[in-house]
Amino acid sequence: MKAQLVANVCLLILWLGSSGHSAWALLLFLASFLPAVYSACRVPGGFAWRRAAAPAAGPAGWPLLGSIPIMGALAHRRLAELAQSYGASRLMALSLGTTRVIISSHPETAREILCGPAFTDRPAKESARLLMFERAIGFSPAGDYWRHLRRVAATNMFCPRRIAGLEGLRQRVAGGMIEGVREEMERRGVVELRGVLQRGSLESVLGSVFGESLGREREEELVEMVKEGYHLIGVFNWEDHFPLGGLLDFHGVGSRCKKLAEKVRRLVGELIEERRTNGAPPGDDFLSVLLALPKEESLSDYDITAVLWEMIFRGTDVVAIVLEWVMARMAVHPEVQAKVQEEIAGCLAGASRSVRDVDMPSLPYLQAVVKEVLRLHPPGPLLSWSRLAVHDVHVGKTFVPAGTTAMVNMWAITHDGSIWKDPLTFRPERFLEEAVPVMGTDLRLAPFGAGRRVCPGRALGLATVNLWLARLLQHYSWSPGRPVVFAEQLRLSMEMKKPLACRAVPR
């Protein structure tokens, strides 16, 4: 190292001394640093671990970039392969630019990360911060404010009574989707379910948040805002890993986020004002709940806007994405589809009514189908948003310094042959043979995360998926409208790369 420094200094002197500061001497001087940069990048785990020795094996990746080039549409698969090849399923170290990362592909270390007291923050991307999510549940640091929001969400927004209260809305939306499928079948002879499911999800989320229709114009405006928000959160921003005051923000993410946040504040602000003037519609929507909080718990209008915006944002895509995967499985596994339909018929025992939430305990096979889809196609294969160590911590016996980002590769866990028999086979029966909870207590299958930052909307999300699946299978028999491709695309969530097209025949 010393010899390297002496050589650099000699070259600098040579350059300064050369007449007219020759460009060659300058190039030589700069190039003399390459070996040092290269060796800093070749440490296990890569560049970001050059000072703190990496706590586990892991890829050095590219010079300076580390593993950024593999964080694309199939990052979960590439990371699983790497963990295997390094023998680092329990913990692997890697670098994303200057960000130090550890990743678990094992239920035990996943539990320590998700449920322990150290990884309670999330690393806030620039876009998340500018889109106000730091004042909402997902990205606010784990302090009093975040605990307050979680309490409000658990006791007022996602408690069993409220979820039951929202059933009427979810049933109405299901009716609308069934009608939408009929119309599309009549028009085109085939139905692209993604559009139907996305419209249904948005209507359901807006209904639970605002309790009433906002009118076509405002709803369309919100759809555009959510789309733009997904794009901005999903787009790779170099600034997140090489913060240089905006210099590397090639896509203008910062300024676009500011504009979008402005629009959200204007629209939701208007809705809050109207609600104060006109009073609440019947039923307890989230906005009424937040406005009615007792004085000592009340939130500012800015914070209410941030929380509601996050609910709309998080609640809209993921339910539609899960259902598209489920329906793809139903279309290509007619025997499983028929078994669910038989189960529904048995549960209704000849009554000509729609399936309801209360029927779910009598539909264990349907629930097993949903679990098997969450296992094979977890919508957040890397649990969507990572965690951040707020203090030094040991994961197992391994020391992890404060400020390290931690990810859990849930996809790797749910596809691990040492945990699941025939992991690539779609076989819902496995969940009838062994009860495996999905709400975050069993880390072999935790699609909603676990621990203190577990998804607060999981019960509502799951109730919605179960009910809509039951209604869609009750009314139609489904078959592929064109070949079903199970290729994945990881954006904010993991979607089907090729939208599913089905033929739906009324039953």
Least separation in angstroms between CB 52 and ligand HEM = 24
By CB under 6 A, residue 229 contacts ligand HEM: no
> Cβ(459)–Cβ(402) under 8 Å?
no
Residue 299 is a binding residue for ligand HEM (CB under 6 A): no
- Closest to ligand HEM by CB, 82 or 319: 319
Q: Which stretch binds ligand HEM (CB under 6 A): 38-46, 380-388, 431-439, 477-485?
A: 380-388
CB 399 within 8 A of CB 348: no
Q: Does 59 bind ligand HEM (CB under 6 A)?
A: no
Q: Note whether 379 binds ligand HEM by CB under 6 A.
A: yes
Binders of ligand HEM in range 111-130 (CB under 6 A): 114
Is residue 170 a contact point for ligand HEM (CB under 6 A)?
no
115 carries a ligand binding annotation: no
| Radius of gyration for the chain, computed over Cα atoms and rounded to the nearest angstrom | 26
What is the rounded distance in angstroms from the CA atom of residue 286 to the CA atom of residue 210?
A: 7
Given candidates 131, 233, 311, 326, which one binds ligand HEM under the rule CB under 6 A? 311
In Å, how far from its chain's centre is CA 151? 21
Instruction: Report in angstroms how near the CB of residue 381 gets to ligand HEM at its nearest.
Output: 9
Q: CB nearest ligand HEM: which residue?
A: 449
Smallest distance, ligand HEM to C-beta of residue 166, A? 11
Are the CB atoms for 465 and 142 separated by under 8 Å? Answer: no
Nearer to ligand HEM, 65 or 382 (CB): 382
Residue ranges in 189-240 assigned as alpha helix (H): 193-210, 216-234
Rounded Cα distance, 429 and 54, in Å: 42
> Is the Cβ of residue 61 or residue 379 nearer to ligand HEM in the bound state?
379
C-alpha of 90 from chain center: 22
Range list of H helices, 126-215 = 126-130, 144-152, 160-165, 167-188, 193-210
Where does this chain touch ligand HEM (CB under 6 A) — which range of 3-11, 211-219, 315-323, 358-366? 315-323
In the bound complex, what is the minimum distance in angstroms from residue 150's beta carbon to ligand HEM? 6
Strand partners, 415: none
Burial state string for 169-192 with b = 16 or more CB within 10 A and e = fewer than 16: bbbebbeebbebbeebbeeeeebb
Using alpha carbons only, what angle is made at residue 235 by residues 207 and 485, rounded to the nearest 5 degrees?
A: 75
List the one residue out of 81, 55, 52 whose CA is nearest residue 67: 81
Decide if residue 411 touches ligand HEM (CB under 6 A). no
Burial class (CB in 10 A: 0-12, 13-18, 19+), 362: middle
Binding residues for ligand HEM restricted to 440-469, rule: CB under 6 A? 447-451, 453-458, 460-461, 465
| Cβ neighbours for 69, distance < 8 A, ≥ 6 positions apart | 61, 62
Q: Could you give the angle at the alpha carbon of 420 between the alpha carbons of 417 and 422, nearest 5°? A: 70
Least distance between ligand HEM and beta carbon 103 (Å): 14
Taking CA atoms, 10 is separated from 23, 26, 29, 410, in Å, by: 16, 12, 9, 52
How far is the first Cα of the chain from the last one, in angstroms, to the nearest whole number? 76
Q: Nearer Cβ to ligand HEM, position 427 or 453?
A: 453
Give CA–CA dist 486/474, Å, rounded.
Answer: 24
Q: Contact between 327 and ligand HEM (CB under 6 A)?
A: no
Instruction: Report yes or no: 193 and 324 within 8 Å, Cβ to Cβ.
Output: yes
Residue 381 sits in the site that holds ligand HEM (CB under 6 A): no
Q: How far apart are CA 479 and CA 330, in angstroms?
A: 8
Question: Can residue 320 be called a binding residue for ligand HEM (CB under 6 A)?
Answer: no
Q: How far is the CB of 133 from ligand HEM (least distance, A)?
A: 9
Out of 74, 383, 407, 470, the residue judged to bind ligand HEM by CB under 6 A: 383
- Out of 90, 256, 314, 371, which residue is the one contacting ligand HEM (CB under 6 A)? 314
Please give the Cα distance from 211 to 209 (Å, whole number).
6
- Residue 318 touching ligand HEM (CB under 6 A): yes
How near is the Cβ of 82 to ligand HEM at its closest, in Å?
Answer: 21
Minimum separation from the CB atom of position 120 to ligand HEM (A):
9
Pick the stretch among 91-99, 249-257, 314-322, 356-364 that binds ligand HEM (CB under 6 A).
314-322
Identify which of residues 96 and 463 has a Cβ nearer to ligand HEM in the complex: 463
The reply on whether position 110 binds ligand HEM by CB under 6 A is no
Binding-site member from 56, 169, 191, 322 for ligand HEM (CB under 6 A) = 322
Mask of contacts with ligand HEM, 141-160, x by CB under 6 A? Answer: ---------x----------
H or E segment and range at residue 263? helix 253-278
Q: Residues binding ligand HEM: what is the number (CB under 6 A)?
A: 30
Among residues 46, 61, 315, 381, the one that binds ligand HEM under rule CB under 6 A: 315
Please give the Cα distance from 507 to 504 (Å, whole number).
9
Provide the minimum distance between the beta carbon of 265 and ligand HEM in the complex, in angstroms, as a whole number.
Answer: 19
Which positions touch ligand HEM (CB under 6 A)? 114, 137-138, 150, 310-311, 314-315, 318-319, 322, 379-380, 383-385, 447-451, 453-458, 460-461, 465
Q: Which residues are annotated as a binding site for heme?
A: 455
